């Protein structure tokens, strides 16, 4: 059941991205181009999503189990550290360069030709580098202990 | 700054945003999870038991979305200005950055801000500023 709901949510999420215009990198860059001819659309996308999300996450925060009986896995991290800021800055730089963030890139894979594939392949490569570096740090820690 | 009235689409942007918000809401209420795309994708590279199927199902839905969309309406135009080299560099930055920063536009920007998380607010401000600066350099300094 939770597999089916994940499939449905992924599908609806992707439809939302397409409707919102966020699968068009030029439009995303139009939002990021404050100094040029600014397209405020992305702010409306986030505003609309957060409007709905505010209610849902308030309800979710009061629950011990999800409606399907799953454990609630809400983030517990609150640290504002170098990893968070530098990582987000790097993400933002890549986002500005291509006009793609992870969701729209995936929602463009099936119909967008080779460019979204190239971006997504590199993105997976970056994620793999992260995993390798993290594992190295983890084994280093175990050895030191 | 001037507003690009030709490309500004407040209604479809808002409608799409509401749909994205509904999806994120359904996910946390039904599955008890954050609909953060970079986390869902990146988690595939750290296999844990019982953790694979829901990730693959979510991603299949997301990747299949345009194929369902075109059954009802033509896909909106998409224009990618970046060349292949830039796309690869951008992809690497997005992959590394979202994993170190533990989230992207969906996990921090939509879900985190909906949870009123200060950590996500800092992350969102960081990637927005970096995006603004990058496009400024791209379009106004080196173009």
Q: Which residue on chain B is closest to A52 by alpha carbon?
A: B21
Residue B70 DSSP SS3: coil
Q: Considering CB atoms only, which of B19, B109, B139 is closest to A15?
A: B19
Give tens-digit pLDDT for A85-127: 999 999 999 999 999 999 999 999 999 999 999 999 999 999 9
Q: How confident is the model at residue A141 (pLDDT cuts 50, 70, 90)?
A: confident
Name all contacts of B126-130 with Cβ < 8 Å and 24+ positions apart.
Answer: B126/A84, B126/A85, B126/A88, B126/A89, B126/A92, B126/B101, B127/A88, B127/A89, B127/A91, B127/A92, B127/A95, B127/B97, B127/B101, B128/A92, B129/A89, B129/A92, B130/A88, B130/A89, B130/A90, B130/A91, B130/A92, B130/A93, B130/A95, B130/A96
Question: What's the confidence (pLDDT) of residue A137?
Answer: 86
Residues in B closer than 8 angstroms to A8, CB to CB, are 26, 61
Residues 6+ apart with CB under 8 A from A48: A20, B13, B14, B15, B16, B17, B18, B20, B21
How far apart CA B96 and CA B87 sit, in angstroms, is: 14
pLDDT at A81 over 80: yes
**CB atoms A13 and B90 under 8 Å:** no
pLDDT tens column, A15-46: 999 999 999 999 999 999 999 999 999 999 99
Return the HEC string of chain A.
Answer: CHHHHHHHHHHHHHHHHHHHCCCCHHHHHHHHCCCCEECCHHHHHHHHHHHHHHHHHHHHHCCCECCCCCECCCCCCCCCCHHHHHHHHHHHHHHHHHCCCHHHHHCCCCCCCHHHHHHHHHHHHHHHHHHHHHHHHHHHHHHHC
**So what's the pLDDT on residue B88?**
98
The tally of domains found in chain B comes to 1
Contact: B95, A130; criterion CB under 8 Å = yes
Q: What is the pLDDT of residues B64-96, one digit of tens each?
A: 999 999 999 999 999 999 999 999 999 999 999
Residue B44: pLDDT over 80:
yes
Model pLDDT, residue A20: 97
- Residue B57 banded pLDDT, cuts 50, 70, 90: very high
Domain boundaries, chain A: 2-144
Question: Residue B20 falls within a domain, yes or no?
Answer: yes
B14 belongs to a structural domain: yes
Residue B23 domain flag: yes
pLDDT at B21 over 90: yes
Residues of chain B found within 8 Å of residue A84, distances taken between Cβ atoms: 100-102, 119, 122-123, 126
In chain A, residues with a C-beta closer than 8 Å to the C-beta of B127 are: 88-89, 91-92, 95
Q: How far is A131 from chain B (nearest CA, A)?
A: 7
Flag whether B4 is in a domain.
no
pTM above 0.80, yes or no: yes
- B2 domain-assigned: no
Residue B109 distance to chain A (closest CA, Å): 7
- B17 part of a folded domain: yes
Q: What ipTM was predicted for this assembly?
A: 0.96
Q: Residue B47: list chain A partners with CB under 8 A.
A: none
Question: Model confidence at B127, in pLDDT bands (50, 70, 90)?
Answer: very high
Res. B48: pLDDT tops 90: no
**Contact present, B121 and B38 (Cβ < 8 Å):** no
pLDDT on residue A44:
97
With left for phi above 0 and alpha for psi between -120 and 50, is residue A31 left, alpha or beta?
alpha
pLDDT score recorded for residue A144: 66
CB contacts, 8 Å: A111 with chain B: 66-67, 70, 75
Predicted local distance difference test score (pLDDT) of residue B62 = 98
Residue B11 has pLDDT above 70, yes or no: yes
A/B interface, count of CB pairs below 8 Å: 503
Tokens representing A19 are 């409707």
Element (H, E) at B2: strand B2-3
Put simply, the answer to whether A80 touches B118 (Cβ < 8 Å) is yes
> What pLDDT shows up at residue A145?
58
CB spacing of A50 vs B21 below 8 angstroms = yes
Per-residue model confidence as pLDDT tens digits over A49-72: 999 999 999 999 999 999 999 999
């Amino acid at each position: 059941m939770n597999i089916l709901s994940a499939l449905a949510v992924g599908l609806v999420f992707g439809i939302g991205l397409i409707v919102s215009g966020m699968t068009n990198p030029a439009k995303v860059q139009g939002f990021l181009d404050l100094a040029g001819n600014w397209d405020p659309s992305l702010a409306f996308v986030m505003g609309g999503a957060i409007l709905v999300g505010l209610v849902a996450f308030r309800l979710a925060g009061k629950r011990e189990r999800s409606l399907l009986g799953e454990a609630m896995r809400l983030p517990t991290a609150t640290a504002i550290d170098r990893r968070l800021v530098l990582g987000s800055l790097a993400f933002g730089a890549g986002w500005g360069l291509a006009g793609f963030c992870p969701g729209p890139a995936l929602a463009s894979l099936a119909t967008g030709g080779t460019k979204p594939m190239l971006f997504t392949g590199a993105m997976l490569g970056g994620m793999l580098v992260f995993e390798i570096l993290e594992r190295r740090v983890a084994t280093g820690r175990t050895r030191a202990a | 700054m001037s507003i690009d009235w030709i490309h500004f689409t407040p209604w479809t942007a808002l409608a799409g945003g509401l749909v994205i918000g509904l999806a994120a809401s359904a996910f946390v209420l039904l599955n008890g999870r954050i609909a953060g795309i970079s986390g869902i994708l990146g988690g595939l590279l750290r296999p844990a038991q019982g953790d694979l199927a829901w990730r693959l199902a979510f991603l299949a839905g997301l990747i299949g979305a345009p194929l369902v969309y075109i059954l009802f309406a033509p896909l909106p135009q998409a224009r990618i200005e970046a060349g292949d080299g830039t796309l690869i560099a951008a992809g690497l930055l997005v992959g590394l950055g979202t994993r170190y920063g533990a989230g992207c536009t969906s996990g921090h920007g939509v879900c985190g801000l909906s949870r009123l998380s200060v950590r996500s607010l800092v992350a969102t401000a960081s990637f927005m500023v970096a995006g603004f600066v990058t496009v400024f350099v791209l379009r106004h300094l080196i173009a």
